[in-house]
Amino acid sequence: MYAITIPEPGGPEALVWAEVPDPVPGEGEVLVEVAASAVNRADLLQRQGFYDPPPGSSPYPGLECAGRVAALGPGVSGWAVGDEVCALLAGGGYAEKVVVPAGQLLPVPEGVDLTTAAALPEVACTVWSNVFMLAHLRPGETLLVHGGASGIGTMAIQLAKAVGARVAVTAGGPEKLARCAELGADILIDYREQDFVEELAKATDGAGADVILDIVGAKYLERNVKALAVNGRLVVIGLQGGVKGELNLGALLAKRAAVLATTLRSRPAQEKAAIVAAVREHVWPLIGAGTVRPVVDRTLPMTEAAEGHRALEDGRHVGKVLLLTPQA
């Protein structure tokens, strides 16, 4: 088979479409013939040499895919060769074939075509596990999403609105904010021109956000704590703004608030399987009903993965960038 390889870390040009050995499913695993994968920030970090795949996982980038079941490993039940699926991966999505633990497979949702389904697993699992399973966002609460026009942001807006929450977003520029509004965002903040702490306070009569989903990290830490409501929950899932920041514990204590930080890629298989099962139970029906939909900015041939990486690095996207294999 062919896959996107990274012979040496570097810029987008470091991604090389090359022939590699076919993967073989082991106990409890499924072989998927990939139709499409999607570009995630973790892929960019891996390409640059900053984020190695977890031990034992595929060396190729790609944290999600959609395709058809090609073979079943020993001990797998509930799936059959030919099933159309999408999957949460620890790596290997940028390839013609990938091996997946059976617990990380999802059926393609009703009303979604096979390639578009590749836009769903990573964002759905990230948002559901963090905003709902961890931070317990409830109806009537306010969620602040940093990077509202990103793949994660577009999913977070829709899921929060579906459960009856109020949604505030930060994004860069009026065009991206308009797209967020189309998805249901109530409070629109241009981080280039506005201070999100001040704007959120104005919009909530000083109450702040009950839950903040943050991809920025250290750069926003102090302001995020200021923006939290009493009993608020800050969930940090990205470090685009650095890894070290100063935390005012007094401010945190005064608000009886919590700071939580998670990653998805390195979790044990059983934890990922539990998240995938929760997504299938709670999110897939919303997608099937049309209440929540995948947001795809563009599709590219997988051989042009470098262009997909450039799009994310330049911020020239709303939602997901998909990569299609030659057999798609």
Q: What is the pLDDT of residues 145-186, one digit of tens each?
A: 999 999 999 999 999 999 999 999 999 999 999 999 999 999
pLDDT at 318 over 90: yes
Mean pLDDT of 294-309: 98
Mean pLDDT of 69-96: 98
Mean pLDDT of 275-302: 98
Mean pLDDT of 309-317: 93
Quickly state the pLDDT bin for 241 (edges 50, 70, 90).
Answer: confident
Write the pLDDT tens digit of every residue in 111-129. 999 999 999 999 999 999 9
Percentage of residues of the chain with pLDDT beyond 70: 100
Q: Per residue, what are the HEC states of the chain?
A: CEEEECCCCCCHHHCEEEECCCCCCCCCEEEEEEEEEECCHHHHHHHCCCCCCCCCCCCCCCCEEEEEEEEECCCCCCCCCCCEEEEECCCCCCECEEEEEHHHEEECCCCCCCCHHHHCHHHHHHHHHHHHHHCCCCCCCEEEEECCCEHHHHHHHHHHHHCCCEEEEEECCHHHHHHHHHHCCCEEEECCCCCHHHHHHHHCCCCCEEEEEECCCHHHHHHHHHHEEEEEEEEECCCCCCCCCCCCHHHHHHHCCEEEECCCCCCCHHHHHHHHHHHHHHCHHHHHCCCCCCCEEEEEEHHHHHHHHHHHHHCCCCEEEEEECCCC
What local confidence, expressed as pLDDT, does residue 4 receive?
98
Mean pLDDT for the chain overall: 96
pLDDT at 307 over 90: yes
What local confidence, expressed as pLDDT, does residue 240 receive?
86
Q: Output the pTM of the full model.
A: 0.96
Quickly state the pLDDT bin for 316 (edges 50, 70, 90).
Answer: confident
What local confidence, expressed as pLDDT, does residue 327 receive?
85
Write the pLDDT tens digit of every residue in 22-78. 999 999 999 999 999 999 999 999 999 999 999 999 999 999 999 999 999 999 999
